[in-house]
Amino acid sequence: MCIFCKIVAGELPAYKIYEDEKTLAFLDIKPTTSGHALVITKAHYANLEEISEVDLTALALATKKVGALLKEKLNVPGYNMSSNNDPVAGQEIPHIHFHLIPRHEGDGLVNWPKIEYGPGDMEEIAKKLTA
């Protein structure tokens, strides 16, 4: 059983902040910023390809609620919502989860770096994706 399934089963402790029939949210043990929350499905799915449409819908709706909680109860002005999908993208726990990372003016966090496409690259990629 994975770590997050153990939290769902009550075999590992967590600071739970939201729960419904299909989802659970709790505080990340090593937060990027204070209040960093993880929203998970109670059922185990490794990633976005595996998750059912019904559970993905529940996960998205729970994430929206937890985001509102952070704003309302912790006076968070905004947050990043992200998901690391597969180990190469930084996914450490193989159980789908959405991160909600509270952001504050001047918190010093830097968002994604950006690169430039070479000539023709965008066209080629779009062609591959739509072929």
Q: Which residues bind ligand 5GP (CB under 6 A)?
A: 3, 12, 14, 26-30, 38, 84, 90-93
The span from the CA of 10 to the CA of 76, in Å, is 29
Would you say 22 and 13 are in contact if contact means Cβ atoms under 8 Å apart?
no
Choose from ligand 5GP, Zn ion, none: what does 30 bind? Cβ within 5-8 Å by kind: ligand 5GP
Which residue among 2, 122, 125, 126 contacts Zn ion (CB under 5 A)? Answer: 2
The listed partner (Zn ion, ligand 5GP, none) that binds 44, CB under 5 to 8 Å by sort, is Zn ion
* Interface mask toward Zn ion for 42-61; x: CB under 5 A: --x-----------------
User: What's the rounded Cα separation, in Å, for the pair 71 and 57?
Assistant: 22
Joined tokens for residue 106:
């001047």
Smaller CB separation from Zn ion, 8 or 70: 8
Q: Provide the token pair at 19.
A: 């729960």
Binding-site size for Zn ion (CB under 5 A) equals: 5
Over its C-alpha atoms, the chain yields an Rg (Å, rounded) of: 17
Shortest distance (Å) from residue 27 CB to ligand 5GP: 6
| Residues in contact with 42: Cβ distance below 8 Å, sequence separation at least 6, in sequence order | 8, 21, 22, 23, 24
Tokens representing 55? 């559970």
For residue 5, the partner it binds in ligand 5GP, Zn ion, none, with Cβ less than 5 to 8 A by kind, is Zn ion
Tell me the catalytic residues: 97
